[in-house]
Chain A
Amino acid sequence: MFGAFDYQVVIRNLHILWDGMQITFLLTGVAIVGGILFGTVLALMRLSRFMVLSFVAGRYVDAFRSTPLILVIFWFYFAVPIVVGQPIGDLYSVLIAFTLFEAAYYCEIIRAGIQSIRMPQIHAGLALGLTRWQTTKNIVLPQAFRNMVPVLLTQAIVLFQDTSLVYVVGLKDFLTAADLVAARDNRVVELYLFTAIVYFLLCWLGSLLVKRLQRQYAI
């Protein structure tokens, strides 16, 4: 069987795999940026003095964190078109699902980061006459994000791997593309070996970056 190993099949279909990889990158990128932005809003709500805001954000986070991602992807695929009133396509429904799901996780990371900033730093900002929001924006958040960079990246690596779950709605990401080629050309071993190597290399490079940053930011 190994004698028939045909690595050429990967090269012949590289354009299909690359198309899939672009979807994977797009999903990862949008979910990171959208998730961090929305996650920051959620974190600020959770830490807000206004009970309603912190309650709403808290339930949001609980709901998403206690639901498997694959179900969230599924539900949004069916639910969003109903809510919006028209089909929006599998890509958009998945982008929304990932962003909202990741925001719940980023919220908790960012909240911990904000809470790691000591009270006297906040007092120092307020004592200069900055408003609460100016203090949060100029003093708390920049320091919090610096402390969080390694954890945020680790979460991004997990997210990158999780994007492969979009196969449930038939979106052609990297893994789904490989799967299609494998089935069509009957070359399962070659293609799955290739995808495994690619995922491993990218995640490994990512974790090296995390380690480097951790060393850099360690005081």
Chain B
Amino acid sequence: MITVDKVSKWFGDFQVLDKCSTRVAKGEVVVICGPSGSGKSTLIKCINGLEPFQQGAITVNGISVGAEGTNLPKLRASIGMVFQNFELFPHMTVLDNICLAQTKVLNRNRAEAGERAMQLLNRVGLADQAPKHPAQLSGGQQQRVAIARALAMDPIAMLFDEPTSALDPEMINEVLDVMVKLALEGMTMMVVTHEMGFARKVADRVVFMDGGRIEEDAKTDEFFGAPRGERAQMFLSKILTH
């Protein structure tokens, strides 16, 4: 479904990604972890073309992301993305947040879009919040709306960039529960997170990044059983004792 092949990227002189390669099969859940600044967000933004990269290739469902004639809006519409700080549109109601791209990109009419939105709000347990504005919701609720907004496009894969790291501890689980359910339903997912409980429960593989390189890419039980690299071991011991 997603292949990343020797991707390198520079911000000016600074190399953020160094020949990163990995792949995510249909229905697979891959967790990406690593220290701050290691390039996790950048890698995930390369996958839906929000960040350009200079070398290597990324394909999603056979379509090359970096290629010249690729219809990026169309490609992005098929990949859901969830951000660290939710990024709901503050000037719109929850319902309009979920309907906007459905009507503008998928050309659904207002009634269809609204119906799909309510379906998804029900699924994340927030149907009663539809007429509110994002600022009236808690962080956990906002993130669940953001997930519903992404799912409304009927994506073939979902990207998550630290979806719970901006949340108060008591709200983390309500978001993780939604993600676990999604994973169990067979959604293809790439998740940047330090929630190792989540990784253990649903991830098929864990990728460890450091200094712009993918240092470790292993099946989940192998990764937690015995990460090969020293840096990964150190990183794990640090976040697991938290």
Q: Determine the distance from Cα of A143 to Cα of B133 in the docked complex, in whole angstroms.
A: 14
With a cutoff of 8 Å between Cβ atoms, the chain A residues found around residue B48 in the complex are 127
Q: Mark A110-139, 1 if CB is under 8 A from B, else 0.
A: 000000000011011111111100100011
Is residue B73 within 8 Å, beta carbon to beta carbon, of the partner chain? Answer: yes
With a cutoff of 8 Å between Cβ atoms, the chain A residues found around residue B45 in the complex are 123
Is residue B150 within 8 Å, beta carbon to beta carbon, of the partner chain? Answer: yes
Min C-beta distance of A76 to chain B, whole Å:
37
Min C-beta distance of A141 to chain B, whole Å:
10
Q: Among the listed stretches B18-26, B77-85, B177-185, B220-228, which one makes contact with chain A, having 4 or more residues with CB under 8 Å of it? A: B77-85
With a cutoff of 8 Å between Cβ atoms, the chain B residues found around residue A139 in the complex are 89
Instruction: Check A129/B77 contact, CB under 8 A, given A123-B45, A138-B100, A138-B104.
Output: yes
Instruction: Check A126/B76 contact, CB under 8 A, given A121-B89, A143-B91, A146-B91.
Output: yes
Instruction: Check A127/B90 contact, CB under 8 A, given A134-B104, A138-B100.
Output: no
Interface residues of A in 8-42 (CB under 8 A from B): none
Is residue A142 within 8 Å, beta carbon to beta carbon, of the partner chain? Answer: yes
Is residue A83 within 8 Å, beta carbon to beta carbon, of the partner chain? Answer: no
Is residue B187 within 8 Å, beta carbon to beta carbon, of the partner chain? Answer: no
Is residue B115 within 8 Å, beta carbon to beta carbon, of the partner chain? Answer: no
Instruction: Check A143/B101 contact, CB under 8 A, given A128-B77, A129-B153, A131-B73.
Output: no
What number of A-B contacts does a CB cutoff of 8 Å give? 62
Q: Determine the distance from Cα of A109 to Cα of B141 in the docked complex, in whole angstroms.
A: 34
Chain A at the B interface: mostly helix, strand, loop or mixed?
helix
With a cutoff of 8 Å between Cβ atoms, the chain A residues found around residue B73 in the complex are 126, 129-131
Q: Determine the distance from Cα of A219 to Cα of B135 in the docked complex, in whole angstroms.
A: 9
Q: Mark A148-167, 1 if CB is under 8 A from B, else 0.
A: 00000000000000000000
CB–CB B85/A120 < 8 A: yes
CB–CB B87/A143 < 8 A: no
Instruction: Check A127/B104 contact, CB under 8 A, given A121-B89, A143-B90.
Output: no
CB–CB B89/A124 < 8 A: yes
Instruction: Check A130/B105 contact, CB under 8 A, given A143-B91, A219-B135.
Output: yes
Min C-beta distance of A138 to chain B, whole Å:
6
Q: How large is the interface on A (under 10, 10 to 19, 20 to 34, 35 or more residues)?
A: 10 to 19
Min C-beta distance of A170 to chain B, whole Å:
45
Min C-beta distance of A126 to chain B, whole Å:
6
CB–CB A126/B105 < 8 A: no
With a cutoff of 8 Å between Cβ atoms, the chain A residues found around residue B91 in the complex are 142-143, 146
Min C-beta distance of A122 to chain B, whole Å:
9
Q: Mark B14-53, 1 if CB is under 8 A from A, else 0.
A: 0000000000000000000000000000000100101000
With a cutoff of 8 Å between Cβ atoms, the chain A residues found around residue B104 in the complex are 130, 134, 138
CB–CB B87/A120 < 8 A: yes
Is residue B238 within 8 Å, beta carbon to beta carbon, of the partner chain? Answer: no
Interface residues of B in 117-134 (CB under 8 A from A): none
With a cutoff of 8 Å between Cβ atoms, the chain A residues found around residue B78 in the complex are 129
With a cutoff of 8 Å between Cβ atoms, the chain B residues found around residue A120 in the complex are 83, 85, 87
Instruction: Check A127/B76 contact, CB under 8 A, given A138-B104, A219-B135.
Output: yes
What 17 new A-B contacts, CB under 8 Å, besides A124-B87, A219-B135? A120-B85, A121-B87, A123-B83, A124-B81, A124-B83, A124-B88, A126-B76, A127-B48, A127-B150, A128-B77, A128-B100, A128-B105, A129-B78, A130-B101, A130-B104, A143-B90, A146-B91
Write the residues of chain B forming the contact surface with A, with a CB cutoff of 8 angstroms.
45, 48, 50, 72-74, 76-81, 83, 85, 87-91, 100-101, 104-106, 135, 149-150, 153
Write the residues of chain A forming the contact surface with B, with a CB cutoff of 8 angstroms.
120-121, 123-131, 134, 138-139, 142-143, 146, 219
What are 19 A-B contacts defined by CB distance under 8 Å? A123-B45, A123-B81, A124-B83, A124-B87, A124-B88, A126-B73, A126-B76, A128-B77, A128-B101, A129-B77, A129-B78, A129-B106, A129-B153, A130-B73, A130-B100, A130-B105, A134-B104, A138-B104, A139-B89
